[in-house]
Chain A
Amino acid sequence: MSTRIVVDPITRIEGHLRIEADIENGKIKDAFSSGTMVRLLEEILKGRDPKDAWAFVGRVCGVCTSVHSLTSVRAVEDALDIVVPPNAEMVRNIMFCTQYMHDHVVHFYHLHAMDWVDVVNALKADPKKTSELAQSISHWPKSSPGYFSDIQTRIKKFVESGQLGIFANGYWGHPAYKLPPEVNLIGLAHYLEALEWQKEIVKIHAIFGGKNPHPNYLVGGMACAIGIDDVSGINAERLALVGQLLQDAKEFVEQVYVPDLMAIASFYKDWGAIGGGLGNYLVYGDLPTNGFRDMASFKFPAGAILNKDLGNIQEVDLRKDEEVQEFVTNSWYEYREGKTVGLHPWKGESKVNYNGPKPPFEHLDTAKEYSYLKTPRWNGHAMEVGPLARVLVGYARGREDFKAVVDKALTDLKVPVTALFSTLGRTAARGLESVLIAQWGLEFFDQLISNIKNGDTRMAEMSKFDPATWPAQALGVGYSEAPRGALAHWINIEDQKIANYQLVVPTTWNASPRDGKGQLSAYESALLNTPVADEKQPLEILRTVHSFDPCMACSVHLYDEEGKHISRISVVGGE
């Protein structure tokens, strides 16, 4: 007999995410991932000026606020055959590196660490021992016994005040927490430091994008003028600040994030064999260094891996009708040609047909449609996207920078390369790519400065700004490697307006329902066989689902309709 448990919501901004899992003999036997909120951005965009699309799509999510805008301008530039100037490419790359580092650090400390770090246990740590440990793994200056003791005092006060806030409802004391108190205290101290740090790095978005959140983009380039002596433009002072912030970010990633990640991982090596899932990985590629058309110049190379076969990287073409297709067999949508066909996004449709239970409901009828997410497939295969996919493709393609960070981590942890195909591998890959991104960000910055010094201040290519210069019909695809994984927008422009616009977002690849052939998607597959020690506290489910970085605050709160804290899960009886 199995028991079905429900974790809802797991994520909040890009629509709610709900997991239902059947547990038998302490392990997950079957899992269902459901997006329970509809997102019909496609319909909002129809009939609008393609040049404005970035402003709308930037609002889809508050976490990846800029990546949708970037992907959108790339789609329009692709459709209209616009090549942006090198400076615009570098500024976009710098903003993207900023986004990655911000997102990955916030994910690690604020959305995921508490699945591994027991806050309450940290109060038992010996500050002196904590200090010795911290100094043995990093040169980060804030590591004295007094520093750690102050942190303990602060948190004790916080806990005693009854205002637990972000730490409310944790599964503190759960047997799956394995860290010694001193490691827990380091994790907690850096949780606080990362909160302070993250608000500095995002200033780069405000400098280049005019505002943050939701910075400005522009079809044809970037909407910021370079003028070394210009008080209102991107001047020498602002550029110097960008350089400093990138340098500080690199320091934080190398001296705080990665040492913590490795210290924590060393106590959870068993998670190197849990939560692997599909073993199929997909990367569109990103961070161009010689224009977006030269895919070989991408810092993140594109490619697909099937069945964990790192010896055989397949090429990816987002224009081919049969490669990327979306299915709605188990989704609350209908296609004109019925439930069984798959549609390439240029032909995509978004007509909702909800036939699920009437809310509030106890559980979904998973024998029928059960999600607002469509099911994307690549050549018919279910694929995982995200940092692990990117790191594996870079590694398998033999890129030296990827090999250096991956091999070092494997050696330090004394685990084989197969340990990457796991929950732990996913979480580690996010940190490892952050090391690369931190270096690349500075390279892009140096390139930008060097262009400017050589007299090139062009920031936008505006010859196609006037819609009269456009063809009557144009198709485009824009793609990016968003922090959570491969993201693409397909646009169909007719008579200077958007005729169709389809987004396939990373969380759709990972969190979608199974397809018509019964193939599970990434979350569902990764949850199979995961041990669950206590059905009322399914910490293990959160570890695996959070390792994918489902969009936004998957922390430890759940509110009912009255806004009260309720248990994160419900057990809805055996079947």
Chain B
Amino acid sequence: MNRTSSNRILILGIGNYLMGDEGVGVHAARRLEAQNRFPGVEVLDGGTGGFHLLGCLEEYETIILVDATLDRHPPGTIRLIRPRFAQDFPKAMSTHDIGLKDMMGALQLLGKMPDIHLFVVSIENIQLQGVSLSPEIERVMPQLLEKIEHLASSLTSPAAQRMPQDLNPV
């Protein structure tokens, strides 16, 4: 994807695509990418990006992060969290959590923490292998995408209309 300096909102799906439900964030990003209806909102499949994502996280004022979480909620539970510090991230995020938490710590250290809206989807088993989602998670996907889109659209209107449109592809 081409990033532009004028894009201030990023939908970033995180996860390991090879580990079933653990990759729910990546699945969500790919589906949204295919049907992106909001000009000014970028979608990125961040995979297990770790440090590679730092530059990208800094570039946006607002980030809608989508990730799996292992918690005591039933699989498929969707929650929206507003973490401000690395330690506000939910307990026991999925297998790549340390990389992401460290990214947040690094952003904080650099004084460049974006405004983060984090959708977490509760999953059951991180040891699942495969590139498809379980029925429990597949069932809530439309709901997840709708919630993300709803948030993105509320964040883009009307304030975002003021953004300049000069393109500066990397």
Asked if B129 and A166 make an inter-chain contact with CB atoms under 8 angstroms apart, the answer reads no
Asked if B49 and A65 make an inter-chain contact with CB atoms under 8 angstroms apart, the answer reads yes
B108 / chain A contacts, CB cutoff of 8 Å:
158, 163, 165
Proximity bits, A33-48, B CB within 8 Å = 1, else 0? 0000111110110000
Asked if B110 and A12 make an inter-chain contact with CB atoms under 8 angstroms apart, the answer reads no
Q: Which of B60-68, B88-96, B134-142, B150-158 contacts the other chain? A: B88-96
Give the residue among B54, B92, B98 with the most A Cβ atoms within 10 A: B98
Asked if B99 and A166 make an inter-chain contact with CB atoms under 8 angstroms apart, the answer reads no
The CA-CA distance from A166 to B108 in the complex, in Å, is 10
Q: With contacts A163-B85, A165-B108, A192-B110 known, is A562 near B49, CB below 8 A? A: no
Give the residue among A59, A192, A200 with the most B Cβ atoms within 10 A: A59
The CA-CA distance from A192 to B108 in the complex, in Å, is 11
The CA-CA distance from A561 to B17 in the complex, in Å, is 22
Specify the chain B residue showing the minimal Cβ separation from A212: B52
Contact partner of B86 (CB less than 8 A), chosen from A40, A41, A63, A165, is: A165
Asked if B18 and A41 make an inter-chain contact with CB atoms under 8 angstroms apart, the answer reads yes
Asked if A62 and B47 make an inter-chain contact with CB atoms under 8 angstroms apart, the answer reads yes
Q: With contacts A44-B130, A163-B85, A555-B102 known, is A65 near B47, CB below 8 A? A: yes
Asked if B102 and A199 make an inter-chain contact with CB atoms under 8 angstroms apart, the answer reads no
Q: With contacts A165-B108, A192-B109, A552-B99 known, is A38 near B129, CB below 8 A? A: yes
Is the CB of A13 closer than 8 A to any CB of chain B? yes
Asked if B95 and A12 make an inter-chain contact with CB atoms under 8 angstroms apart, the answer reads yes
The CA-CA distance from A538 to B18 in the complex, in Å, is 34
A214 / chain B contacts, CB cutoff of 8 Å:
45, 47, 49
The CA-CA distance from A252 to B112 in the complex, in Å, is 22
The CA-CA distance from A394 to B27 in the complex, in Å, is 44
B99 / chain A contacts, CB cutoff of 8 Å:
12-13, 62, 552-553
Asked if A40 and B16 make an inter-chain contact with CB atoms under 8 angstroms apart, the answer reads no
Is the CB of A465 closer than 8 A to any CB of chain B? no
Contact partner of A213 (CB less than 8 A), chosen from B53, B87, B92, B104, is: B53
Q: With contacts A38-B127, A163-B85 known, is A195 near B54, CB below 8 A? A: yes
Is the CB of B115 closer than 8 A to any CB of chain A? no
Proximity bits, A174-209, B CB within 8 Å = 1, else 0? 000000000000000000100110111011011100
Specify the chain A residue showing the minimal Cβ separation from B92: A563
Least CB distance from A206 to B in Å reads 6
Specify the chain B residue showing the minimal Cβ separation from A565: B87
Q: With contacts A44-B131, A198-B51, A213-B47 known, is A62 near B96, CB below 8 A? A: yes
Instruction: Say what secondary structure dominates the interface of chain B.
Output: mixed
The CA-CA distance from A214 to B45 in the complex, in Å, is 9
Asked if A553 and B58 make an inter-chain contact with CB atoms under 8 angstroms apart, the answer reads no
B85 / chain A contacts, CB cutoff of 8 Å:
163, 165
Chain A, interface size: which category?
35 or more
Asked if B18 and A166 make an inter-chain contact with CB atoms under 8 angstroms apart, the answer reads no
A12 / chain B contacts, CB cutoff of 8 Å:
95-96, 98-99
Is the CB of B105 closer than 8 A to any CB of chain A? yes
Is the CB of B76 closer than 8 A to any CB of chain A? no
Asked if B18 and A196 make an inter-chain contact with CB atoms under 8 angstroms apart, the answer reads no
Specify the chain B residue showing the minimal Cβ separation from A63: B50
Is the CB of A110 closer than 8 A to any CB of chain B? yes
Specify the chain A residue showing the minimal Cβ separation from B15: A59
Is the CB of A106 closer than 8 A to any CB of chain B? yes
Asked if B50 and A553 make an inter-chain contact with CB atoms under 8 angstroms apart, the answer reads yes
Asked if A59 and B18 make an inter-chain contact with CB atoms under 8 angstroms apart, the answer reads yes
Least CB distance from A1 to B in Å reads 34
The CA-CA distance from A356 to B36 in the complex, in Å, is 46
Proximity bits, A145-176, B CB within 8 Å = 1, else 0? 00000000010001000010110000000000
Q: With contacts A56-B131, A211-B1, A563-B91 known, is A110 near B51, CB below 8 A? A: yes
Least CB distance from A231 to B in Å reads 9
Least CB distance from A372 to B in Å reads 10
The CA-CA distance from A12 to B46 in the complex, in Å, is 17
Specify the chain A residue showing the minimal Cβ separation from B59: A199
The CA-CA distance from A213 to B57 in the complex, in Å, is 12
Asked if A166 and B105 make an inter-chain contact with CB atoms under 8 angstroms apart, the answer reads yes
Specify the chain A residue showing the minimal Cβ separation from B88: A163
A166 / chain B contacts, CB cutoff of 8 Å:
86, 102, 105-106, 109
A65 / chain B contacts, CB cutoff of 8 Å:
47-49, 52
The CA-CA distance from A110 to B106 in the complex, in Å, is 10
A43 / chain B contacts, CB cutoff of 8 Å:
129
Contact partner of A56 (CB less than 8 A), chosen from B18, B70, B101, is: B18
Asked if B50 and A40 make an inter-chain contact with CB atoms under 8 angstroms apart, the answer reads no
Least CB distance from A123 to B in Å reads 15
Is the CB of A475 closer than 8 A to any CB of chain B? no
Specify the chain A residue showing the minimal Cβ separation from B104: A165
B92 / chain A contacts, CB cutoff of 8 Å:
559, 561-563
Asked if B109 and A158 make an inter-chain contact with CB atoms under 8 angstroms apart, the answer reads yes
> Besides A106-B51, A166-B102, 10 other CB < 8 A contacts?
A65-B52, A163-B87, A165-B109, A166-B105, A192-B109, A202-B55, A212-B52, A553-B50, A563-B92, A563-B93
Closest 6 CB pairs of A and B: A62-B48, A563-B91, A165-B105, A199-B55, A213-B49, A166-B105
Give A residues with C-beta under 8 Å from B. 12-13, 37-41, 43-44, 56, 59-63, 65, 102, 106, 110, 154, 158, 163, 165-166, 192, 195-196, 198-200, 202-203, 205-207, 211-214, 241, 552-553, 555, 557, 559, 561-564
Q: Please name 19 pairs of A and B residues whose Cβ atoms are closer than 8 Å in the assembled complex, sorted by A.
A: A13-B96, A39-B129, A41-B129, A44-B131, A56-B131, A59-B48, A62-B48, A62-B50, A110-B51, A154-B109, A165-B87, A166-B102, A166-B105, A166-B106, A166-B109, A203-B55, A552-B99, A559-B91, A559-B98
